[in-house]
Amino acid sequence: MSGLDGLNPSPGALVLGLVQARVPVITEPADLTSTAQRLATQLRKAKKAMPSLDLLVFPEYSLNGLDPGTWLDERLLCDLDGPEITLLAKACAEAGVWGCFSLMERNPGGAPWNSGIIVDAAGEIKLYYRKMHPWVPAEPWQPGDLGVPVCEGPAGSRLALIICHDGMLPEMAREAAYRGANVILRTAGYTYPLRHAWQITNQANAFHNLAYTASVCLAGPDADGIRSQGEAMVCDIDGTVLVQGDGLPDRIVTAEVVPSRADDARTGWGVENNIYQLGHRGYSAVPGGATDCPYTFMRDLTEGHYRLPWEDRVAHTDGTGAGWGPPPLSTTTPPAAPEVH
């Protein structure tokens, strides 16, 4: 790749650092503090060692850990304005670099959210997202309610963040692109059984949407010796893998992307400009292309009666199989999401 993965940035390049952070072990509130401090130190050292870095991306669960036994412990959850996030945002400002971080967010109205933020080089939160599609039945998180936001980033980038299982549903990356994202970040905690699916979905999400995808997992063993895969990867707008990591904990995989190339492809490509052609079918034969919605699943989902032909035979429809039990009936309305300016 040109620019030696960001060591010598090309004109218009966004230089990414994907941090294959080690799996933290969190058992006490003090562990959250020490982990946040470690991540902040990694960010500051990375920017010092490679001043061309524009954005450092940390994986899902890199702050709160992967132990399901701690996930619903109220003492071990975070708040958007809490000390851990404040510490990480301050590190971005001190180092003069953007950062993307994960937090398991306290929800007074129900189950916690699995959330992510993008912080700019002045320490301000520019994007705030709650995971739309928790990895059920294994994860007990409240499904996200903020949609798929997009923010302006460095070097002409328009950034979106999707989290782990979100990326297995093509509609998520499509929504990010439809809202203007030309660089789609994906953070995860996947272990090795998901390695192949991880790779092909990152590539497909890029190609389907003429977007760069930049994705990173936790790496190394948890307290029980189960290893997360690391496997940071950056894909070009045609799905080609530009850079790929390994399973080494705390390795920072760097890459450059040029967001304007995605913008140019979206306006200049003819064949395979699929995100345009989805809403303009057959424009060589029909002026402007057909603009109807021929997809039954889209119409049914919008109208509130999405139902699979095999719906009655689906075995897992709540968290019981993963030890969470059926969800309680909600008796309170979750609080409104904090505003991010």
Query: Is the Cβ–Cβ distance between 166 and 186 less than 8 Å?
Result: yes
CA 194 to chain centre: 16
Q: Indicate if the pLDDT at residue 312 is higher than 80.
A: yes
CA distance 221 to 22: 8
CB 14 within 8 A of CB 259: yes
Helix, strand counts (H, E) of the chain: 8, 14
* pLDDT tier at 262, thresholds 50, 70, 90: very high
**Tens digits of residue pLDDT in 10-68:** 999 999 999 999 999 999 999 999 999 999 999 999 999 999 999 999 999 999 999 99
102: tokens are 């994960």
Could you list the active site residues? 60, 131, 164
Q: In the β-sheet with 252-257, what is the strand arrangement from edge to edge? A: 125-130, 113-119, 98-105, 55-57, 14-19, 252-257
Please tell me the predicted confidence (pLDDT) of residue 228.
Answer: 98
Mean pLDDT of the chain: 96
The answer to whether residue 160 scores a pLDDT higher than 70 is yes
Peptide bond into 137 cis (omega under 30): yes
Q: What is the mean pLDDT of residues 1-8?
A: 82
pTM over 0.85: yes
* CA 271 to chain CA mean position, Å: 29
DSSP string, 50-67: -TT--EEEPPTTTTT-S-
Q: Which two tokens stand for residue 321?
A: 């199989």
Q: Which amino acid is at 132?
A: M
Report yes or no: 219 and 22 within 8 Å, Cβ to Cβ: yes
- Answer whether residue 128 shows pLDDT above 60: yes
Q: Tens of pLDDT along 88-116?
A: 999 999 999 999 999 999 999 899 999 99
pLDDT band of residue 325 (cuts 50, 70, 90) is confident
> Amino acid letter at 266?
R
**Which of 259, 253, 256 minimizes the C-alpha distance to 5?**
256
- Compute how many other C-beta atoms are within 10 angstroms of the C-beta atom of residue 155: 18
